[in-house]
Amino acid sequence: MSKLEIGSGNKPKEGYLHFDIRNNVNADVVGDAKNLPFKDEEFSEVYSRFFLEHLFRKDAKIALREMYRVLKKEGTLEIIVPNIACFCKLFLNESGQKKEWALNKIYGFENYAEDHHYFGYDEETLKNFLIETGFREIERVKTEEQYLYLRAIK
Ligand SMILES: C[S@@+](CC[C@H](N)C(=O)[O-])C[C@H]1O[C@@H](n2cnc3c(N)ncnc32)[C@H](O)[C@@H]1O
């Protein structure tokens, strides 16, 4: 299979090899995304949804470099993270459950040990991380304000 999902958790995307650090979510391969157990240029697509924000920023850069390494030339990365700009606005402007939801999206829901957010991204920040890693042709796939869904090419 030449499509890899990183941090697949309880919502694995169909058609992908599923990789996660937790051994209780039926991942095909268990491990740490900072050190992917795959060869260089093994995959044509890497997909990751609501994972990168679970890493400290220096570790996120390492994980992105790993994603880049395992992608074939011209391969595609699709990455989705919460848009911290949106949730900061909600936190400041809302109260009650919406404010609580914004806090969960900023800091993580704390439903299990790894369920913390250690860094937040707006579009500029995520694009800069991708550019720094070497990705090009970065585009926003969907324009919903609450999350950033970017596609980039190796
Ligand atoms: C919020 S869940 C997202 C799950 C799924 N992708 C989704 O969209 O619902 C984040 C996932 O990243 C995984 N994760 C956290 N740190 C990781 C790491 N260093 N390496 C691999 N997976 C990690 C967690 O175990 C968890 O399953």
As beta bridge partners, residue 151 has: 78, 139
Q: Which residues line ligand 1 (CB under 6 A)?
A: 7-9, 11, 20-22, 25, 32-34, 49-51, 54, 114
pTM for the model stands at: 0.96
> So where are the chain's domains?
3-82+114-153
Q: What is the third-level CATH fold of 3-82+114-153?
A: Rossmann fold (3.40.50)
CB 81 within 8 A of CB 147: yes
pLDDT in tens, 77-105: 999 999 999 999 999 999 999 999 999 99
Instruction: Find all residues with CB under 8 Å of 4, minimum gap 6, and list them.
Output: 16, 17, 19, 38, 42, 43, 45, 46, 47, 70
| pLDDT in the model for residue 143 | 87
Q: How far apart are CA 42 and CA 69, in angstroms?
A: 9
What DSSP element (H or E) covers 130? helix 123-133
